[in-house]
């Protein structure tokens, strides 16, 4: 019998630390439900002490998820841990994940604590966490640059205090596979009672080695891997869940472990996370990229036609490609609409909310013949924005663009319920639309990113636009979708402005 490799997904916490990728509470719940459908073992729902919004998001995930363990991150202090304990209280299965830095540079320059003080604080943190749950994970932040003797010492003490999972994160993506594997091997050999805990790894991709380091650690005895959908995460991102899972699944002859993951849910999860965060997946991304199972070379095409395994080591359908079939059209009824939303993990609160969403669906169905799951996800993402959160709202647009003439955009908005209109010129209709919006709102924001992606195929496909704005040190992504790409652009710009308008603050510990 092979050991089980625990898949710990931190898309909702570490993934959210990607610039502009913050999620609403409802978006976190939707992604969490998809992760549960995929049979992820542990879902790190967020950092409950960061803000009231984060606390409510973690609590909402804890209430919604029944099969997976729901986890909250906490620094090694009493306030953070008690906040996390309250947030995860409704969960059927709960975990507190507490951490403190252990590398010399972090202890001296960031914490300004002695090694003895760090050990003492770590032990206290585990004791506090044990008041709320028997499932306590301890992370030695920046373990990849920590001294081995000190790691052995602190891990020994937190095991005595009641930690059940020990995480050895390569926080800054500094390690290489052989070195990292040796570190795990020595820790397991040297730490007393190491067989009483689960050893975990959390690798960052700064050198492009997050997956390689994680898998090397598995070969040395790690039995939990912390990862994210699409490799999302701060800086260069985290180890990619889909790559970890499919490496273990495909190379069962090499790895002494297996996962519980339903691999057919990988592509739907990837698409959902991409749509919610606005982070598109590169076409040549392993497993979930659009080209992952495409063959251009004539030699490759000939081989695949004769026998698939000549050039394919996995089946596209095994990871969920082709799973999102045509589901709805203009003649579909309310019950079919509601049922498909439920299949996608989208909750409809009230009958009134359903009526509004269904009316928007019918409007979309009049514009495009075939409605796909991706269309519904985009539709309901826009629908999930509450009136209170929509300080700026698009009312009407009018665009003019022709060869030899300067493009113009006329925009009508409501600002806190007050309607205003203006017209502006630009180098193109999108530029004109953005200038018209700024002429009304005067936000002082800087445009960092403008990205367009077709949600599905065909000339009638909805265009999905991502806009990244920066103001006063805050960075927010906005998304908008429409069959008219200029309208989608205006929606995305306003969505980003509404997020910047929010006064919620965030703390972003990096583990």
More confident: 50 or 323 = 50
Q: Among candidates 218, 141, 136, 146, which has minimal Cα distance to 177?
A: 218
Query: 426 pLDDT band (50/70/90 cuts)?
Result: very high
Report d(CA 25, CA 30) in Å as an integer: 9
194 Cβ neighbours under 8 A, 6+ residues apart: 155, 159, 187, 188
pLDDT of residue 148: 97
- In this model, does residue 296 exceed pLDDT 50? no
CATH code for the domain of 268: 3.20.20.70
Kindly provide the residue ranges of all beta strands, DSSP E only, lying in 41-145, ordered along the sequence: 42-46, 69-75, 94-101, 136-141
* Distance separating alpha carbons of residues 203 and 228, to the nearest angstrom: 10
| Claim to verify: residue 249 and residue 108 sit in the same structural domain | yes
Position 62 in a domain: yes
Return the pLDDT at 503.
59
For residues 273 and 396, membership in a common domain is answered with no
187: nearest Cα among 216, 154, 215 = 154
Question: 258 and 399: one domain?
Answer: no
Q: How far apart are alpha carbons 463 and 357 in whole angstroms?
A: 19
Phi, psi of 120 (to 5 degrees): -60, -40
Res 326 pLDDT > 50: no
- Out of 251, 277, 303, pick the residue that ends a domain: 277
Residue 285 lies in a domain: no
Residues with Cβ < 8 Å from 407, sequence gap 6 or more?
Answer: 399, 400, 401, 425, 426, 427, 428, 429, 431, 432
**For residues 169 and 144, is the Cβ–Cβ distance under 8 A?**
yes
Contact between residue 205 and residue 237 where contact means Cβ atoms under 8 Å apart: yes
Is 336 inside any structural domain? Answer: no
| Structural contact between residues 432 and 426, judged by C-beta atoms closer than 8 angstroms | yes
Contact 468, 496 (CB under 8 A): yes
Q: Give the pair of three-digit tokens for residue 136.
A: 């306590």
Residue 298 pLDDT > 70: no
Q: For residue 338, what pLDDT is reported?
A: 84
Residues 272 and 403 in one domain: no
From 245, 277, 309, give the residue that closes a domain.
Answer: 277
pLDDT bracket for residue 506 (50, 70, 90): very low
- Average pLDDT on 419-448 reads 96
Consult the annotation and say whether 202 binds a ligand.
yes
Model pLDDT for residues 97-134, shown as the tens digit of each residue: 999 999 999 999 999 999 999 999 999 999 999 999 99
Tell me the pLDDT band of 309, cut-offs 50, 70 and 90.
Answer: low
378 in a structural domain: no
Q: Give a yes or no: residue 351 inside a domain.
A: no
Q: Lowest-confidence range among 146-155, 262-271, 376-385, 487-496? A: 376-385
Residues 262 and 409 in one domain: no
Identify the domain containing residue 91 by its residue range: 3-277
What six digits make up the tokens of 188?
A: 């397991």
* Residue closest to 266 by CA, chosen among 294, 248, 240, 291: 240
**pLDDT at residue 324 is higher than 50:** no
Check: CB of residue 305 under 8 Å from CB of residue 491. Answer: no
Say which CATH number the domain at 433 has. Answer: 3.30.160.270
Give 10-30 pLDDT, tens digit per residue: 999 999 888 878 788 888 999
Average pLDDT (324-352) is 74
The per-type count for the chain, helices as H runs and strands as E runs, is: 16, 16
Q: Hunting for tokens 């506090």 — which residue is that? A: 128
DSSP E strand stretches across 299-445: 392-400, 408-415, 418-425
Full 3-state SS string of 242-305: HHHHHHHHHCCCCCCEECCCCHHHHHHHHHHHHHHHCCCCCCCCCCCCCCCCCCCCHHHHHHHH
Binding site annotation covers 460? no
Judge whether residue 304 has pLDDT over 50.
no
Tell me how far apart the 2 most distant CA atoms of the chain are, in Å: 77
SS3 42: strand
User: In sequence order, what are the residues at sequence separation of 6 or more whose Cβ sits closer than 8 angstroms to the Cβ of residue 419?
Assistant: 395, 412, 413
Q: What is the pLDDT of residues 250-284, one digit of tens each?
A: 999 999 999 999 999 999 999 999 988 888 898 89
Residue 14 among known ligand-binding residues: yes
Are 269 and 229 in contact by the 8 Å Cβ rule? The answer is: yes
CA 15 to chain centre: 4
CB 10 within 8 A of CB 227: yes
Q: Sign of torsion, CA 373 376 380 382?
A: positive
Contact between residue 6 and residue 223 where contact means Cβ atoms under 8 Å apart = yes
Of 277, 303, 323, which residue constitutes the final position of a domain? 277
| Other beta carbons less than 10 A from residue 7's beta carbon | 24
Q: Is 106 annotated as a binding residue?
A: no
Q: Is 15 left (phi over 0), alpha (psi -120 to 50) or beta?
A: alpha
H-run or E-run covering 465 = strand 463-471
Backbone conformation region of residue 417, classed left if phi is above 0, alpha if psi is from -120 to 50, else beta: left
What percentage of the chain exceeds 90 in pLDDT? 68
Residue 64 lies in a domain: yes
- How many independent structural domains does the chain possess? 2
Give yes or no for residue 303 having a pLDDT over 80: no
- Select the highest-mean-pLDDT range: 159-173, 301-315, 478-492: 159-173
What order of strands is seen across the sheet that includes strand 418-425?
A: 392-400, 408-415, 418-425
Whether 186 contacts 210, CB under 8 Å: no
Query: Quick check: is 286 in a domain?
Result: no
Percent of the chain at pLDDT above 70? 92
Strand 136-141 with 165-170, pairing: parallel
Q: How far apart are CA 302 and CA 254, in angstroms?
A: 29
Residue 107 belongs to a domain: yes
Q: Would the pLDDT of 302 be above 60? A: no
399 and 265 together in one domain: no
């Amino acid at each position: 019998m092979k050991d089980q490799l625990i898949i710990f997904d931190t898309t909702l916490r570490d993934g959210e630390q990607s610039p502009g990728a913050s999620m609403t509470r409802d978006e976190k719940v939707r992604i969490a439900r998809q992760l549960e459908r995929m049979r992820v073992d542990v879902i790190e729902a967020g950092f409950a002490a960061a803000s009231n919004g984060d606390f409510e998001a973690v609590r909402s995930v804890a209430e919604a998820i029944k099969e997976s363990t729901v986890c909250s991150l906490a620094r090694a202090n009493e306030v953070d841990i008690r906040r996390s304990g309250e947030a995860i209280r409704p969960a059927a299965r709960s975990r507190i994940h507490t951490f403190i830095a252990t590398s010399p540079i972090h202890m001296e320059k960031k914490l300004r604590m002695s090694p003895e003080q760090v050990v003492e604080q770590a032990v206290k943190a585990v004791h506090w966490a044990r008041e709320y749950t028997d499932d306590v994970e301890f992370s030695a932040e920046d373990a990849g640059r920590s001294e081995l003797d000190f790691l052995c010492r602190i891990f020994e003490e937190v095991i005595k205090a009641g930690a059940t999972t020990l995480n050895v994160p390569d926080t800054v993506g500094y390690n290489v596979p052989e070195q990292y594997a040796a570190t795990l091997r020595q820790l397991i050999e040297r730490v007393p009672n190491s067989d009483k805990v689960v050893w975990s790894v959390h690798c960052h991709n700064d050198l492009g080695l997050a997956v390689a380091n994680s898998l090397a650690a598995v070969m040395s005895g790690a039995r939990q891997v912390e990862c994210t959908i699409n490799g999302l995460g701060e800086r260069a991102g985290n180890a990619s869940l889909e790559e970890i899972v499919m490496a273990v699944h495909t190379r069962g002859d090499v790895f002494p472990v297996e996962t519980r993951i339903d691999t057919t849910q990988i592509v739907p999860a990837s698409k959902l996370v991409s749509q919610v965060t606005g982070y598109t997946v590169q076409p040549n991304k392993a497993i979930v990229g659009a080209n992952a199972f495409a063959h251009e070379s004539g030699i490759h095409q000939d081989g695949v036609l004769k026998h698939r395994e000549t050039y394919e080591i996995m089946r596209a359908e095994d990871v969920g490609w082709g799973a999102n079939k045509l589901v709805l059209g203009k003649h579909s009824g309310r019950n079919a609409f509601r049922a498909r939303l439920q299949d996608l993990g989208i909750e409809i609160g009230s009958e009134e909310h359903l009526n509004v969403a269904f009316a928007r669906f019918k409007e979309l169905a009049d514009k495009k013949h075939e409605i796909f799951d991706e269309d519904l996800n985009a539709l309901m993402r826009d629908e999930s924005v509450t009136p209170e959160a929509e300080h700026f709202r698009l009312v009407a647009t009018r665009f003019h663009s022709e060869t030899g003439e300067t493009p113009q955009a006329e925009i009508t908005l409501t600002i806190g319920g007050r309607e205003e209109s203006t017209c502006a010129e630009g180098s193109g209709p999108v530029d004109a639309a953005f200038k018209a919006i700024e002429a009304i709102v005067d936000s002082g924001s800087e445009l960092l990113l403008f990205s367009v992606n077709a949600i599905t195929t065909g000339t009638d496909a909805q265009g999905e636009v991502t806009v990244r704005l920066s103001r006063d040190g805050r960075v927010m992504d906005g998304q908008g979708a429409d069959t008219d790409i200029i309208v989608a652009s205006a929606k995305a710009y306003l969505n980003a402005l509404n997020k910047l308008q929010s006064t919620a603050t965030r703390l972003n510990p990096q583990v």
